[in-house]
Structures are given as C-alpha cells and as structure tokens.
Amino acid sequence: MSTPLDPAVSARLKRTPDGLVCAVAQQRDTREVLMVAWMDDEALHRTLTTRRATYYSRSRQQLWVKGETSGHTQYVHEVRLDCDGDTLLLIVDQVGAACHTGDRTCFDATVLLAGE
C-alpha cells in the first residue's frame, strides 16, 4: 500500500471537479510533446516515487502505468508544476510509441496549421 501524496504538493494542485490534473509528457532530449493524460493524487504519488509514468484513465476509471501492457514505457526524469497548479509537465524518456495508435506522439496525425 502506498503513502499519500505529500500534503505540500497536494495543496498546490488545482484539480478538475473529478479530482484530476492535466499531465503533459515531453521527450527529454528532443523536447517533443508526446501525449496528454490525466493524473489523480495517487497517480502523481506513484510517478514521483517510482519514476514510471502513472496516469488515471477516465474511460476505465483506474490507474495505469504507461507501457505496462504495451512495453512502450516512460521513464520520468522530472515533474514540474505550472504556475497555476493545474498542469503537470513530465520530462521523460519514451521507449516505443507514446500514442495508443502506434504513432511516436499523439500529435503526429493532424496538422491544423503548419509553419510558414
């Protein structure tokens, strides 16, 4: 059984009504944005203590460790909290695809506005 999230960290989080905080995963060396997911306090606590990216699945309503079934893991080097306390940035080393579609990132498929 795990211990609760540090109260000082917990107090800084601004959660959605269902208790979640947005989490953005970014590749450490390239700074490529890989994916966006959600964390509850337990997911954040586990991520901070294990360095394995752990998220909360809104559809399944349960925790999931990135890569636990796919092998496409995220080793977490840093976790940063934004100035408003409503978004986390995870600096990770991604192994394999980050997106459930098999793409390297969740932002490979559709470009709405390209660079000039």
4 CA to centre of own chain: 18
84 annotated as ligand-binding: yes
64 contacts: CB under 8 Å, gap ≥ 6: 54, 55, 56, 57
108 annotated as ligand-binding: no
93 annotated as ligand-binding: no
82 annotated as ligand-binding: yes
Q: What is the C-alpha to C-alpha distance for residues 22 and 85, in angstroms, rounded to an integer?
A: 10
22 annotated as ligand-binding: no
- List, as residue ranges, the binding site: 82-84, 86, 99, 106
- List, as residue ranges, the binding site for Zn(2+): 83, 99, 106
- List, as residue ranges, the binding site for Mg(2+): 82, 84, 86
